[in-house]
């Protein structure tokens, strides 16, 4: 006779639902672990004899499904098979890659104009692991090669193209050729472009990372990151580090990211269209001194961008008037565009780099990198172009 369970136990136990049809949409697997039918199945899964989920820090069906989609997007038409791991943030994607590929005594070579948090990570955290970072201008590849020859401990080149907020680009074909010659790993932050506009695996870049908080999600409602690679020999190591350092994502954020990805192409098309039209408008505005947009022929890296990207993206920056006070006044006068320290959302966002993202960069170094006191960064949204233009125009006219 089966023992009748108590009220208390019925509350506690899961009722296993017998699904007869699969869900049309990706379910959120809100579970820390997975249960086994018997000890033999457990042993087979733990020893890797059969595939199966164990614990959500290792893998989770919701997370895996989204990771597989991003891997397919990055590998698209590159002739490569890629794999991906979702992480808790863009920053944890970067730190997981550094921990995976480098060890004490190694040197990383990178550019001066990285995302602010990345520069801080390398200078304040990675340096304390005994890993040195050398910052170089990747526009001068001869100087880069000399640096590589002088430092045989350089094991990794870390790239960001286009870079924040001046949209400076690195020639991926040339830098990866150099890296291969010296057997150095290449890692790229592809956040600004997304795989829709730029697929670095075409140039054999080894690892791509994203802050999927930005364009990949597009709706500004979660923080997440992703590590993507096509190198089979790196797979085990990357997974081990993400699993053991615990930098993996969670099912809820993965699910939000999955929703965002469905509209990636139509969002990016509109971001590109609006940003290009706005760049042309700003270029001819008397209150604007300089416009940084890679879709403009006046941008120093327009040709590089045209070669390696399918579109010029939704990010631009421009100098308002001549002083910081004018730039600040301009931002305060905007009525539709929101001031927020993120980018890649569906709505237009403005930021003043000198007083926010680049506040801790010494003024002379900041100006040397093209980030003047009156520079304003815009993440151009997918609203109607006229509404974006009119808001910017009335704010410019009022200063
Ligand atoms: C936002 C951002 C990051 C950091 O990502 P988080 O998701 O905030 O951790 C890294 N690189 C770029 C280019 C970014 O814009």
Quick check: is 29 catalytic? no
The vertex-44 CA angle with 40 and 50, nearest 5°, equals 130
- Residue 209 phi/psi, 5° resolution? -120, 155
Q: Is the dihedral of CA 125, 126, 128, 133 positive or negative?
A: negative
For ligand 1, what atom is nearest to the CA of residue 212? 7
What pLDDT shows up at residue 358? 85
Nearest atom in ligand 1 to 93's CA: 9
Contact 352 CB / ligand 1 (< 6 Å): no
pLDDT at 260: 98
Our answer on whether the CB atom of 223 is closer than 6 Å to any ligand 1 atom is yes
Which run of H or of E encompasses 108? strand 107-111
Which of 385, 210, 219, 389 is CA-nearest to residue 288?
389
Positions of E strands within 177-237? 185-189, 207-211, 225-229
Neighbouring-strand partners of residue 83: 229
Q: Where do we find the tokens 């290009």?
A: 276
> Going along 112-177, which residue ranges are E strands?
132-136, 154-160
Q: Given the residues 83, 115, 203, 312, select the one marked as catalytic.
A: 115
Neighbours of 280 (CB within 10 A): 13
Residue 189 a catalytic site member = yes
Kindly state the DSSP code that residue 50 receives in the 8-state scheme.
S
Question: By C-alpha distance, which of 87, 113, 344 is closest to 223?
Answer: 87
What pLDDT, on a 0 to 100 scale, did the predictor assign at position 22? 87
pLDDT score at 283? 97
The answer to whether the CB of 162 is under 6 A from ligand 1 is no
Q: Are 242 and 222 in contact (CB under 8 A)?
A: no
The contacts of residue 110 (CB under 8 Å, 6+ apart) are 122, 133, 134, 135, 136, 157, 158, 159
* Structure-block tokens of residue 13: 């136990």
pLDDT, residue 2, reads: 64
pLDDT tens per residue, range 274-321: 999 999 999 999 999 999 999 999 999 999 999 999 999 999 999 999
Residue 210 beta carbon below 6 angstroms from any ligand 1 atom: no
Element (H, E) at 319: strand 315-320
User: Which backbone phi and psi does 118 adopt, to 5 degrees?
Assistant: -70, -45
Q: Output the CA 381–ligand 1 centroid distance in Å.
A: 18
Atom of ligand 1 nearest to the CA of 163: 13
Q: Which residues of the chain have pLDDT under 50?
A: none
206 close to ligand 1 (CB < 6 Angstrom): no
CA distance 26 to 174: 40
Tokens at 128, concatenated: 């304390």
Assign 3-state DSSP to the chain and report helix, strand, coil percentages, each to 5: 40, 15, 45
- Cβ atoms of residues 379 and 315 within 8 Å: yes
Is residue 33 classed as helix, strand or coil in its secondary structure?
strand
Least Cα distance to 57 among 245, 236, 258 occurs for 245
Peptide bond into 165 cis (omega under 30): yes
Ligand 1 centroid to 318 CA: how many Å? 21
Query: What single DSSP character describes residue 4?
Result: P
Q: Edge-to-edge strands of the sheet including 349-351?
A: 288-292, 315-320, 375-379, 349-351, 338-339
Structural tokens at position 298: 């006046």
Residue 91 CB less than 6 A away from ligand 1: yes
Is 384 assigned a catalytic role?
no
> Closest residue (by CA) to atom 6 of ligand 1?
90
- Residue 66 DSSP code: H
Please work out whether the CB of residue 225 comes within 6 Å of at least one atom of ligand 1.
yes
Give me the catalytic one of 29, 83, 155, 214. 214
């Amino acid at each position: 006779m089966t023992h009748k369970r108590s009220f208390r136990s019925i509350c506690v136990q899961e009722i296993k639902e017998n699904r007869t049809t699969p869900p049309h949409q990706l379910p959120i697997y809100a579970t820390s672990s997975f249960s086994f039918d018997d000890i033999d199945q457990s042993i087979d899964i733990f020893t890797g004899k059969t595939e199966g989920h164990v614990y959500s820090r290792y893998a989770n069906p919701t997370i895996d499904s989204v990771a597989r989609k991003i891997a397919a997007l990055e590998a698209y038409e590159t002739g490569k098979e890629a794999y991906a791991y979702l992480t808790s943030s863009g920053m944890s994607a970067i730190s997981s890659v550094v921990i995976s590929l480098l060890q004490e005594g190694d040197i990383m070579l990178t550019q001066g104009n990285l995302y602010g948090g990345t520069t801080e990570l390398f200078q304040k955290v990675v340096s304390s692991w005994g890993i040195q970072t050398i910052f170089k201008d990747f526009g001068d590849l001869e100087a880069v090669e000399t640096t590589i020859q002088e430092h045989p401990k350089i094991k990794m080149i870390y790239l960001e193209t286009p870079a924040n907020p001046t949209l400076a680009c690195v020639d991926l074909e040339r830098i990866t050729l150099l890296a291969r010659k010296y057997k150095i790993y290449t890692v790229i932050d592809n956040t600004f472009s997304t795989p829709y506009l730029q697929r670095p695996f075409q140039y054999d870049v080894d690892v791509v990372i994203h802050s999927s908080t930005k364009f990949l999600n597009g709706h500004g409602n979660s923080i997440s990151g992703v590590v993507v690679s096509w190198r089979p020999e790196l797979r085990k190591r990357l997974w081990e580090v993400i699993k053991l350092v615990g930098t993996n994502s969670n099912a809820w954020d993965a699910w939000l990211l999955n929703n965002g990805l469905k509209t990636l192409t139509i969002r990016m098309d509109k971001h590109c269209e609006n940003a290009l039209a706005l760049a042309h408008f700003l270029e001819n505005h008397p209150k604007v001194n300089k416009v940084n947009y890679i879709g403009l022929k006046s941008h120093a890296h327009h040709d590089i961008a045209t070669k390696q990207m399918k579109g010029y993206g939704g990010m631009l920056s421009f100098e308002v008037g001549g002083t910081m006070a004018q730039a600040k006044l301009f931002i305060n006068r905007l009525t539709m565009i929101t001031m927020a320290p993120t980018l890649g959302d569906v709505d237009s966002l403005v930021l003043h780099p000198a007083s926010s993202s680049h506040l801790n960069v010494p003024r002379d170094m900041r100006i040397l990198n093209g980030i003047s006191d009156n520079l304003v960064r815009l993440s151009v949204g997918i609203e109607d172009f006229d509404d974006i233009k009119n808001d910017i125009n009335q704010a410019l006219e009022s200063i």
